[in-house]
Amino acid sequence: MRTKIAIGLTILLVALAFVLSRPSTPAPPVSLAFTGYSDDGRSALFDLKSHTSGYVSHSHPVIQLPSAGSWTNYCDPIESAMCRLTVGVFDHQSTILSAALPSGQQRWRAAVRCTVYPSDEPTSLRGRVQWLLEVVGLRSATDKTEFTLVTDEFVR
C-alpha cells in the first residue's frame, strides 16, 4: 500500500514540476485596440501601445474585409493618395491611428505591421547606421522582432 502511495505522489510531483517549469508565454511587446469611430463615422480609430523600452516602428492600419473564407485588404482611394508618415512609438508610449472604412461594409478587422528594435537600436548613431545598412541591403536584420497585430472582427 505504501508503495502505491509513494508512486502516486512521485507521479504527482513530477507532473507538478513539469507544469511549473514550462516557460509562460510573454506578453506581446505591442498592443492594438479599437477605440471607436471618427466623428463623421468614416474612419476607425485605434490605440497602438508599446509595452517595451525599445522603439516600435509601425505601418498604418490596413482595413481587411471578409472574402470567400479569407480576408482582403481594403484600399481607400483618398487615403492611399495621401502621403502619411509614421513616427513610431518610443519607450512605453502609445499613439492614436486611424484608417478609412469602406461605405456600407458591415464586417471588418484591422491589421498593423510592427517592428520592435532593441532600446538603443534606432536612437543611437550605431543603430541608425545599422538601420541604413539594412535598408540598402548591405547588412542582415539585427535582433529586431517583426509581427502583425490583428484586431477582432467588428460590425459597423
Question: Domain locations in the chain?
Answer: 27-155
42 close to 100: Cβ distance less than 8 angstroms: yes
Higher pLDDT, 4 or 152: 152
pLDDT 10s digits, 121-144: 555 676 667 667 766 766 665 667
User: What are the beta bridge partners of residue 33?
Assistant: 47
Q: What local confidence, expressed as pLDDT, does residue 30 receive?
A: 94
Residues 70 and 74: their CA atoms lie apart, in Å, by 13
What is residue 29's three-state secondary structure?
coil
Mean pLDDT of the chain: 81
Helices marked H in the chain — which ranges? 2-21, 77-81, 125-135
- pTM for the full predicted model: 0.69
CATH code of the region 27-155? 2.60.40
Identify which of 4-18, 74-88, 133-147 has the greatest average pLDDT.
74-88
Does the structure show a pLDDT above 70 at 97? yes
Of residues 48, 138, 150, the one with CA closest to residue 97: 48
pLDDT 10s digits, 58-70: 999 999 999 988 9
User: What are the beta bridge partners of residue 48?
Assistant: 32, 95
Does the structure show a pLDDT above 70 at 119? no
| Other C-beta atoms lying within 10 Å of the C-beta of residue 121 | 19
Residues 131 and 11: their CA atoms lie apart, in Å, by 52
26 close to 51: Cβ distance less than 8 angstroms: no
Average pLDDT estimate for 6-10: 73
pLDDT 10s digits, 24-53: 556 678 999 999 999 999 999 999 999 988
What the block records as the C-alpha cell of 123 is 536612437
Q: What is the largest CA-CA distance in the chain?
A: 79
